[in-house]
Amino acid sequence: MSHELAGRIALVTGGSRGIGRACCQRLAEAGATVVVNYCSNEAAALETLQQIVDAGGKAVQVQADVSLESDVNRMVGWVEQEVGPIDLLVNNAGVFDFLPHDQTTPEIWQRAIDVNLTGAYYVTWAVKAGMIERQFGRIVNVASIAALRARSMAIAYSVSKAGMVAMTKGLAEALAGANVRVNAVAPGLIETEIHQSIDRDRLDQIVASSPIQRMGTSEEISELVLFLLSERSSFMTGQTVVASGGRVMLP
Ligand code: NAP
Protein backbone atom coordinates (compact mmCIF):
# COMPACT_ATOMS: atom_id res chain seq x y z
CA MET A 1 0.00 0.00 0.00
CA SER A 2 1.44 3.38 -1.04
CA HIS A 3 1.94 5.97 1.68
CA GLU A 4 1.80 8.94 -0.64
CA LEU A 5 0.25 11.19 2.03
CA ALA A 6 2.72 10.29 4.79
CA GLY A 7 3.43 13.24 7.08
CA ARG A 8 0.38 15.18 5.88
CA ILE A 9 -2.52 16.31 8.03
CA ALA A 10 -5.96 16.09 6.44
CA LEU A 11 -9.21 17.65 7.66
CA VAL A 12 -12.36 15.98 6.33
CA THR A 13 -15.64 17.73 7.12
CA GLY A 14 -18.59 15.39 7.62
CA GLY A 15 -16.16 12.52 8.12
CA SER A 16 -18.42 10.56 10.44
CA ARG A 17 -20.53 8.81 7.79
CA GLY A 18 -20.92 8.02 4.10
CA ILE A 19 -18.51 9.52 1.58
CA GLY A 20 -16.67 11.48 4.28
CA ARG A 21 -15.99 8.33 6.31
CA ALA A 22 -14.62 6.53 3.22
CA CYS A 23 -12.38 9.55 2.52
CA CYS A 24 -11.07 9.50 6.11
CA GLN A 25 -10.29 5.80 5.82
CA ARG A 26 -8.63 6.10 2.39
CA LEU A 27 -6.50 9.12 3.37
CA ALA A 28 -5.39 7.41 6.58
CA GLU A 29 -4.50 4.30 4.58
CA ALA A 30 -2.37 6.55 2.36
CA GLY A 31 -0.47 7.72 5.44
CA ALA A 32 -2.18 10.99 6.39
CA THR A 33 -3.13 11.90 9.94
CA VAL A 34 -6.85 12.44 9.57
CA VAL A 35 -9.08 14.86 11.44
CA VAL A 36 -12.63 13.50 11.35
CA ASN A 37 -15.12 16.36 11.66
CA TYR A 38 -18.74 15.66 12.54
CA CYS A 39 -21.75 17.79 13.44
CA SER A 40 -24.00 15.81 15.80
CA ASN A 41 -23.31 12.10 15.37
CA GLU A 42 -20.41 11.57 17.75
CA ALA A 43 -20.93 7.79 17.84
CA ALA A 44 -20.47 7.56 14.07
CA ALA A 45 -17.35 9.75 14.23
CA LEU A 46 -15.88 7.51 16.93
CA GLU A 47 -16.66 4.47 14.77
CA THR A 48 -14.76 6.04 11.85
CA LEU A 49 -11.90 6.79 14.20
CA GLN A 50 -11.83 3.26 15.61
CA GLN A 51 -11.84 1.69 12.14
CA ILE A 52 -8.84 3.84 11.16
CA VAL A 53 -6.91 3.08 14.34
CA ASP A 54 -7.69 -0.67 14.04
CA ALA A 55 -6.25 -0.57 10.50
CA GLY A 56 -3.04 1.02 11.82
CA GLY A 57 -3.84 4.61 10.83
CA LYS A 58 -3.81 7.90 12.71
CA ALA A 59 -6.95 9.95 13.36
CA VAL A 60 -8.66 12.30 15.79
CA GLN A 61 -12.24 13.56 15.81
CA VAL A 62 -13.58 17.08 16.29
CA GLN A 63 -17.13 18.40 16.51
CA ALA A 64 -18.12 21.53 14.58
CA ASP A 65 -21.21 22.64 12.70
CA VAL A 66 -19.61 23.96 9.50
CA SER A 67 -22.48 26.40 8.98
CA LEU A 68 -21.39 28.31 12.11
CA GLU A 69 -18.31 30.48 11.65
CA SER A 70 -17.49 30.39 15.37
CA ASP A 71 -17.56 26.56 15.39
CA VAL A 72 -15.31 26.43 12.32
CA ASN A 73 -12.77 28.86 13.78
CA ARG A 74 -12.72 26.90 17.04
CA MET A 75 -12.21 23.63 15.13
CA VAL A 76 -9.42 24.91 12.89
CA GLY A 77 -7.67 26.64 15.82
CA TRP A 78 -7.82 23.43 17.84
CA VAL A 79 -6.50 21.28 14.98
CA GLU A 80 -3.62 23.64 14.28
CA GLN A 81 -2.65 23.75 17.95
CA GLU A 82 -3.19 20.11 18.94
CA VAL A 83 -2.56 18.18 15.71
CA GLY A 84 -0.58 20.47 13.44
CA PRO A 85 -0.90 22.50 10.24
CA ILE A 86 -3.65 21.41 7.87
CA ASP A 87 -2.15 20.41 4.51
CA LEU A 88 -5.17 18.72 2.97
CA LEU A 89 -8.81 19.75 3.21
CA VAL A 90 -11.90 17.88 2.04
CA ASN A 91 -15.06 19.98 2.16
CA ASN A 92 -17.52 17.11 2.28
CA ALA A 93 -20.15 17.99 4.94
CA GLY A 94 -23.52 18.31 3.28
CA VAL A 95 -27.29 18.06 3.53
CA PHE A 96 -29.84 17.14 0.87
CA ASP A 97 -33.61 17.55 0.58
CA PHE A 98 -35.62 15.94 -2.22
CA LEU A 99 -38.52 18.38 -2.54
CA PRO A 100 -40.53 20.08 -5.29
CA HIS A 101 -40.12 23.81 -5.86
CA ASP A 102 -43.31 24.69 -4.00
CA GLN A 103 -42.00 23.03 -0.83
CA THR A 104 -38.62 24.74 -1.03
CA THR A 105 -39.22 27.07 1.90
CA PRO A 106 -36.79 29.81 2.94
CA GLU A 107 -35.61 27.46 5.72
CA ILE A 108 -34.86 24.61 3.29
CA TRP A 109 -33.10 27.03 0.94
CA GLN A 110 -31.05 28.63 3.70
CA ARG A 111 -29.97 25.32 5.22
CA ALA A 112 -28.68 24.02 1.87
CA ILE A 113 -26.71 27.19 1.26
CA ASP A 114 -25.50 27.50 4.87
CA VAL A 115 -24.18 23.96 5.24
CA ASN A 116 -23.13 23.00 1.70
CA LEU A 117 -21.75 26.28 0.42
CA THR A 118 -21.14 28.74 3.25
CA GLY A 119 -19.78 25.87 5.36
CA ALA A 120 -17.17 25.11 2.70
CA TYR A 121 -16.39 28.82 2.51
CA TYR A 122 -15.89 29.15 6.30
CA VAL A 123 -13.63 26.10 6.53
CA THR A 124 -11.59 26.97 3.44
CA TRP A 125 -11.10 30.58 4.48
CA ALA A 126 -10.03 29.49 7.97
CA VAL A 127 -7.49 27.03 6.57
CA LYS A 128 -6.11 28.79 3.50
CA ALA A 129 -4.04 31.45 5.31
CA GLY A 130 -1.80 28.74 6.76
CA MET A 131 -1.59 26.99 3.40
CA ILE A 132 -0.50 30.21 1.71
CA GLU A 133 2.05 30.89 4.44
CA ARG A 134 3.52 27.41 4.10
CA GLN A 135 3.20 27.49 0.28
CA PHE A 136 1.45 24.13 0.23
CA GLY A 137 -2.17 23.08 0.21
CA ARG A 138 -4.56 20.69 -1.49
CA ILE A 139 -8.31 21.20 -1.28
CA VAL A 140 -11.09 19.00 -2.63
CA ASN A 141 -14.70 20.13 -2.58
CA VAL A 142 -17.36 17.43 -2.71
CA ALA A 143 -19.93 18.93 -5.08
CA SER A 144 -22.48 16.84 -7.02
CA ILE A 145 -23.71 16.23 -10.55
CA ALA A 146 -26.66 18.35 -9.39
CA ALA A 147 -24.29 21.31 -9.92
CA LEU A 148 -24.04 20.44 -13.60
CA ARG A 149 -27.50 18.93 -14.14
CA ALA A 150 -29.82 20.85 -11.80
CA ARG A 151 -32.96 18.92 -10.94
CA SER A 152 -36.46 20.23 -10.27
CA MET A 153 -36.67 18.17 -7.05
CA ALA A 154 -33.49 19.62 -5.53
CA ILE A 155 -33.22 23.25 -6.56
CA ALA A 156 -31.64 24.61 -3.37
CA TYR A 157 -29.19 21.71 -3.26
CA SER A 158 -28.27 22.16 -6.95
CA VAL A 159 -27.63 25.86 -6.40
CA SER A 160 -25.43 25.19 -3.36
CA LYS A 161 -23.36 22.66 -5.32
CA ALA A 162 -23.08 24.92 -8.39
CA GLY A 163 -21.73 27.55 -5.99
CA MET A 164 -19.09 25.07 -4.82
CA VAL A 165 -17.99 24.47 -8.40
CA ALA A 166 -17.66 28.22 -8.99
CA MET A 167 -15.76 28.62 -5.71
CA THR A 168 -13.42 25.80 -6.77
CA LYS A 169 -12.54 27.60 -10.01
CA GLY A 170 -12.12 31.07 -8.52
CA LEU A 171 -10.04 29.91 -5.59
CA ALA A 172 -7.91 27.64 -7.77
CA GLU A 173 -6.90 30.63 -9.85
CA ALA A 174 -6.33 32.82 -6.80
CA LEU A 175 -4.13 30.30 -4.96
CA ALA A 176 -2.22 28.57 -7.76
CA GLY A 177 0.77 30.85 -7.22
CA ALA A 178 0.94 29.77 -3.57
CA ASN A 179 1.13 26.07 -4.53
CA VAL A 180 -2.41 25.49 -3.30
CA ARG A 181 -4.47 23.35 -5.68
CA VAL A 182 -8.26 23.36 -5.45
CA ASN A 183 -10.41 20.77 -7.22
CA ALA A 184 -13.88 19.28 -6.85
CA VAL A 185 -15.54 15.93 -7.31
CA ALA A 186 -19.10 15.65 -8.59
CA PRO A 187 -20.57 12.32 -7.56
CA GLY A 188 -23.81 10.92 -8.95
CA LEU A 189 -25.99 8.68 -6.83
CA ILE A 190 -23.88 7.14 -4.06
CA GLU A 191 -25.25 4.60 -1.54
CA THR A 192 -25.31 6.56 1.76
CA GLU A 193 -27.85 7.76 4.32
CA ILE A 194 -28.27 11.14 2.60
CA HIS A 195 -31.12 9.85 0.41
CA GLN A 196 -33.58 9.41 3.27
CA SER A 197 -35.91 11.99 1.70
CA ILE A 198 -36.23 9.93 -1.54
CA ASP A 199 -38.49 6.88 -1.44
CA ARG A 200 -37.00 3.54 -2.51
CA ASP A 201 -39.12 3.20 -5.68
CA ARG A 202 -37.98 6.59 -6.90
CA LEU A 203 -34.35 5.70 -6.15
CA ASP A 204 -34.74 2.42 -8.07
CA GLN A 205 -36.16 4.34 -11.06
CA ILE A 206 -33.23 6.75 -11.01
CA VAL A 207 -30.75 3.86 -10.87
CA ALA A 208 -32.52 1.99 -13.69
CA SER A 209 -32.32 5.04 -15.97
CA SER A 210 -28.56 5.49 -15.46
CA PRO A 211 -26.03 4.11 -17.99
CA ILE A 212 -24.25 2.12 -15.25
CA GLN A 213 -27.32 0.73 -13.53
CA ARG A 214 -26.27 0.82 -9.90
CA MET A 215 -25.49 3.31 -7.19
CA GLY A 216 -21.85 4.22 -6.67
CA THR A 217 -19.99 3.47 -3.47
CA SER A 218 -18.36 5.91 -1.08
CA GLU A 219 -15.09 4.08 -1.70
CA GLU A 220 -15.27 4.90 -5.42
CA ILE A 221 -15.50 8.60 -4.54
CA SER A 222 -12.74 8.40 -1.93
CA GLU A 223 -10.34 7.08 -4.60
CA LEU A 224 -10.95 10.22 -6.66
CA VAL A 225 -10.54 12.45 -3.62
CA LEU A 226 -7.23 10.79 -2.81
CA PHE A 227 -6.08 11.21 -6.41
CA LEU A 228 -6.90 14.93 -6.38
CA LEU A 229 -5.12 15.44 -3.04
CA SER A 230 -2.06 13.50 -4.15
CA GLU A 231 0.80 14.48 -6.43
CA ARG A 232 -0.61 12.16 -9.09
CA SER A 233 -2.86 15.11 -10.02
CA SER A 234 -0.03 17.66 -9.87
CA PHE A 235 -1.11 19.50 -13.08
CA MET A 236 -4.78 19.76 -12.10
CA THR A 237 -6.46 22.71 -10.43
CA GLY A 238 -9.91 24.28 -10.71
CA GLN A 239 -11.37 21.05 -12.10
CA THR A 240 -14.58 19.26 -11.25
CA VAL A 241 -14.23 15.53 -11.82
CA VAL A 242 -17.51 13.69 -12.34
CA ALA A 243 -18.17 10.11 -11.15
CA SER A 244 -21.83 9.40 -11.82
CA GLY A 245 -22.02 6.06 -13.60
CA GLY A 246 -22.63 8.08 -16.76
CA ARG A 247 -25.73 9.79 -15.35
CA VAL A 248 -24.32 13.25 -16.00
CA MET A 249 -24.69 12.60 -19.76
CA LEU A 250 -28.48 12.25 -19.54
CA PRO A 251 -30.57 15.19 -20.78
P1 NAP B 1 -24.33 11.41 4.70
O2 NAP B 1 -24.06 9.95 4.71
O3 NAP B 1 -25.69 11.91 5.06
O4 NAP B 1 -23.23 12.13 5.63
C5 NAP B 1 -23.28 13.51 5.79
C6 NAP B 1 -22.10 13.94 6.61
O7 NAP B 1 -22.11 15.38 6.70
C8 NAP B 1 -22.14 13.42 8.04
O9 NAP B 1 -20.83 13.12 8.43
C10 NAP B 1 -22.68 14.60 8.83
O11 NAP B 1 -22.25 14.65 10.18
C12 NAP B 1 -22.05 15.74 8.06
N13 NAP B 1 -22.73 17.03 8.26
C14 NAP B 1 -24.01 17.36 7.93
N15 NAP B 1 -24.26 18.63 8.29
C16 NAP B 1 -23.11 19.09 8.86
C17 NAP B 1 -22.75 20.32 9.44
N18 NAP B 1 -23.60 21.35 9.53
N19 NAP B 1 -21.50 20.46 9.95
C20 NAP B 1 -20.61 19.42 9.88
N21 NAP B 1 -20.90 18.22 9.33
C22 NAP B 1 -22.15 18.08 8.85
O23 NAP B 1 -24.03 12.04 3.26
P24 NAP B 1 -23.07 11.61 2.05
O25 NAP B 1 -23.93 11.02 1.01
O26 NAP B 1 -21.90 10.89 2.53
O27 NAP B 1 -22.67 13.06 1.51
C28 NAP B 1 -21.40 13.63 1.69
C29 NAP B 1 -21.24 14.73 0.66
O30 NAP B 1 -21.34 14.17 -0.63
C31 NAP B 1 -22.31 15.82 0.75
O32 NAP B 1 -21.73 17.07 0.52
C33 NAP B 1 -23.23 15.47 -0.40
O34 NAP B 1 -23.93 16.58 -0.89
C35 NAP B 1 -22.25 14.92 -1.40
N36 NAP B 1 -22.86 14.08 -2.42
C37 NAP B 1 -23.48 12.91 -2.06
C38 NAP B 1 -24.07 12.13 -3.05
C39 NAP B 1 -24.77 10.84 -2.75
O40 NAP B 1 -25.47 10.32 -3.63
N41 NAP B 1 -24.64 10.29 -1.54
C42 NAP B 1 -24.02 12.56 -4.38
C43 NAP B 1 -23.39 13.74 -4.69
C44 NAP B 1 -22.80 14.49 -3.70
P45 NAP B 1 -23.09 13.90 11.37
O46 NAP B 1 -22.76 12.43 11.21
O47 NAP B 1 -22.56 14.47 12.63
O48 NAP B 1 -24.53 14.18 11.14
Residue-level pLDDT at 2? 82
CATH topology of domain 9-243: Rossmann fold (3.40.50)
- Atom in ligand 1 nearest the alpha carbon of residue 215: 40
Residue-level pLDDT at 188? 97
In this model, does residue 230 exceed pLDDT 80? yes
In this model, does residue 45 exceed pLDDT 90? yes
State yes or no: is 157 an active-site residue: yes
In this model, does residue 162 exceed pLDDT 70? yes
pLDDT digits (tens, 9 = 90+) for 183-219: 999 999 999 999 988 999 999 999 999 999 999 999 9
Closest CA to 163 of 148, 173, 174: 148
Q: How far is the CA of 144 from the centre of ligand 1 (A)?
A: 11
Q: How buried is residue 108: exposed, middle or buried, by Cβ count under 10 Å (0-12/13-18/19+)?
A: middle
- Per-residue pLDDT band for 38 (boundaries 50, 70, 90) equals very high
pLDDT digits (tens, 9 = 90+) for 49-74: 999 999 999 999 999 999 999 999 99
Among 96, 149, 168, 240, residue to substitute to test ligand 1 (most atoms within 8 Å of Cβ)? 96
Average pLDDT, the chain: 97
- Atom in ligand 1 nearest the alpha carbon of residue 41: 47
3-state secondary structure string, the chain? CCCCCCCCEEEECCCCCHHHHHHHHHHHHCCCEEEEEECCCHHHHHHHHHHHHHCCCEEEEEECCCCCHHHHHHHHHHHHHHCCCCCEEEECCCCCCCCCHHHCCHHHHHHHHHHHHHHHHHHHHHHHHHHHHHCCEEEEEECCHHHCCCCCCCHHHHHHHHHHHHHHHHHHHHHHHHCEEEEEEEECCECCHHHHHCCHHHHHHHHHCCCCCCCECHHHHHHHHHHHHCHHHCCCCCCEEEECCCHHHCC
In this model, does residue 1 exceed pLDDT 80? no
Instruction: Give the residue, by CA position, lying nearest to ligand 1 atom 17.
Output: 65
Q: How buried is residue 230: exposed, middle or buried, by Cβ count under 10 Å (0-12/13-18/19+)?
A: middle
Q: How far is the CA of 194 from the centre of ligand 1 (A)?
A: 7
Q: Are the C-beta atoms of residues 21 and 59 closer than 8 Å to each other? A: no
CB environment 175-206: b (16+ within 10 A), e (fewer): beeeebbbbbbbbbbbbbebbeebeeeeeeeb
pLDDT digits (tens, 9 = 90+) for 74-114: 999 999 999 999 999 999 999 999 999 999 999 999 999 99
Residue-level pLDDT at 98? 95
Q: How far is the CA of 126 from the centre of ligand 1 (A)?
A: 20
- Round to whole Å and give the CA distance between 156 and 179: 33
Lining ligand 1 with CB less than 6 A are: 13-14, 16-20, 37-41, 44, 65-67, 92-96, 115-116, 119, 142, 144, 187, 189-190, 192-194
Q: How far is the CA of 177 from the centre of ligand 1 (A)?
A: 31
Instruction: Give the residue, by CA position, lying nearest to ligand 1 atom 44.
Output: 144
